[in-house]
Amino acid sequence: MNHDKELDVRGLNCPLPILRAKKALSDMTSGQVLKILATDPGAVKDFEVFSKQTGNPLLSHLEANSEFTFFLKRK
C-alpha cells in the first residue's frame, strides 16, 4: 500500500506506539497515509481503538513473523 510517511516503533510497548503515531499524524495533512511498524501484540487492539477515538481511519493491518504493519489515514 502506498504511504506518505513511515514510523518504526518496533521494540516499544504501549503506550509509546500510539503516542508516536499521534505525533506523526499531527505533522501530516488530511488524506496522507502513515505506515506503522510495531512488535507489541497489544498494538492491534490499541490502534483499532485509537482509530475509532480519533477518526483517523485504520486502512489495514497485517501480521507477519510477530511484526505488525498498520496503515492509518490522516482525517
Q: 14, 16, 44, 58: which one is catalytic?
A: 14
Check: CB of residue 58 under 8 Å from CB of residue 69: no
- Find out whether the peptide bond into 15 is cis, omega within 30 degrees of 0: yes
Q: Note if 16 is an active site residue.
A: no
Choose among 30, 40, 34: nearest CA to 66: 40
Which residues carry out catalysis? 14
